[in-house]
Amino acid sequence: MQFAKRLQPLKSNVFADMDIAKAKALAAGRELIDLSLGSSDLPAENHVIEAITQSLHDHSTHGYLLFHGTREFRQAAASWYEKKFGISVDPETEVLPLIGSQEGTAHLPLAILNPGDFALLQDPGYPSHAGGIYLASGQIYPMPLKAENSFLPVFADIPPQVLAASRMMVLSYPHNPTSAIAPLSFFQSAVAFCQQHNLVLVHDFPYVDLVFGDTQIPSILQADPEKSISIEFFTFSKSYNMGGFRIGYAIGNAELILALRQLKAVVDFNQYKGILNGAIAALTGSQTGVKAGVERFRQRRDAFINALHRIGWHVPTPEATMYIWAKLPEPWANKSVEFCTQLVEKTGVAASPGAGFGKSGEGYVRFALVHEPSVLEMAVERIREFL
């Protein structure tokens, strides 16, 4: 059978190699400690589950949800932004519910790019950002994120001919996989750069709450209060442990929101109303569970980092996210896929190879802190034996 060319880049995925290696480890009887997926192991909160349960018994929630979700959902999202960032948002025109941030960020390029247009992406970056560009038959210019630049891209390094053919830039801080955070001043320079070059600025913002210190994490909309070119994506998967529920929203420039809404209208009928009600409960209810979740991840981070340091693997302590981005020691320095496949086959510890997040991710490995400290310490003990 003949398939579209755009399918080709979606096939080669180092994470598929990892799945095979994990299956081999299981078949060999190894006990798996899976630190390869950023899927929170913590449960959604009771008041969220309660709101969804009540909705299930309300037959009026069972039909298609047309237009752009419910007014209550859009209002809850707008109010949350106002409270957290002091940004006023029009719930009618500047908010759109999504079936997860991944869905929204992957669909948006279809509304922005013509075939062959460039998108400027972070390298390393979240794989579905690239996937969305491939779906739109666009071209990717990977902006390298280097440790010496605090994992922020250097805009001056983008070749002028690429810039001339570019239509959008995608950023995401706190960043998966490097865990880097970006100051507001960086976002301000990104907004100015994108305005100067007529680029849409997309900011994927899943880890806004998963921050360990007192650092203020900025929204891109604080750097673009007029919402002239920016759109931001929020998900309930991380702050509220609702990954399986598939709910998020886009917020920002009204024209971009409308374009994404028009595009999505072809593809889906919004998320189920009961899930939207759960998300409203999450946003408007007590936030103590969010804080408690962050504290759990902070304890895990400390346990894992301390254990790595004890075995002589010195990695920086991240201030945000649920990931440890570790530079591989010799002799694995540029063999992240080999390191991860052999590690899981020999020890049962699964991690994500840096190369899976882009060329500049090579030389690193990402550990997701999705187990309790004692399990993380056990994983490090197995890593020690492996090394």
Tell me how far, at minimum, the Cβ of 70 lies from ligand PLP, in Å: 19
Q: What are phi and psi of 181, to 5 degrees?
A: -115, 155
**Binding footprint of ligand PLP on the chain (CB under 6 A):** 38, 100-102, 126, 172, 176, 204, 206, 235, 237, 243, 248
Considering the complex, state which of residue 69 and residue 347 has its C-beta at the smaller distance from ligand PLP.
69
Token output for 129 = 């950002």
Distance CA 170, CA 207 (A): 15
Token pair 């579905």: residue? 128
Distance CA 100, CA 79 (A): 19
Token pair 């995608």: residue? 170
Tell me how far, at minimum, the Cβ of 190 lies from ligand PLP, in Å: 16
Tell me how far, at minimum, the Cβ of 369 lies from ligand PLP, in Å: 13
Tell me how far, at minimum, the Cβ of 31 lies from ligand PLP, in Å: 25
Tell me how far, at minimum, the Cβ of 38 lies from ligand PLP, in Å: 4
Considering the complex, state which of residue 167 and residue 366 has its C-beta at the smaller distance from ligand PLP.
366
Considering the complex, state which of residue 38 and residue 153 has its C-beta at the smaller distance from ligand PLP.
38
Considering the complex, state which of residue 307 and residue 369 has its C-beta at the smaller distance from ligand PLP.
369
Tell me how far, at minimum, the Cβ of 176 lies from ligand PLP, in Å: 4
Considering the complex, state which of residue 111 and residue 171 has its C-beta at the smaller distance from ligand PLP.
171
Token output for 221 = 């909309």
Considering the complex, state which of residue 307 and residue 368 has its C-beta at the smaller distance from ligand PLP.
368
Q: Which residue, 210, 373, 213, 177, is CA-closest to 293? A: 210
Distance CA 100, CA 240 (A): 13
Terminal CA-CA length for the chain: 45
Q: Which residue, 283, 294, 244, is CA-closest to 39? A: 244
Residue type, 245: F
Tell me how far, at minimum, the Cβ of 50 lies from ligand PLP, in Å: 22
Tell me how far, at minimum, the Cβ of 238 lies from ligand PLP, in Å: 7
Distance CA 139, CA 90 (A): 33
Helices (H) and strands (E) in the chain, counts: 15, 12
Sign of the alpha-carbon dihedral angle for 62, 67, 68, 72? negative
Considering the complex, state which of residue 101 and residue 270 has its C-beta at the smaller distance from ligand PLP.
101
Tell me how far, at minimum, the Cβ of 37 lies from ligand PLP, in Å: 8
Closest-by-Cβ residue to ligand PLP is 100
Distance CA 55, CA 179 (A): 36
Number of CB atoms found within 10 A of residue 194's CB: 24
Considering the complex, state which of residue 153 and residue 248 has its C-beta at the smaller distance from ligand PLP.
248
Number of CB atoms found within 10 A of residue 83's CB: 10
Considering the complex, state which of residue 91 and residue 174 has its C-beta at the smaller distance from ligand PLP.
174
DSSP assignment letter at 278: H
Q: Which residue, 91, 43, 37, 86, is CA-closest to 69? A: 91
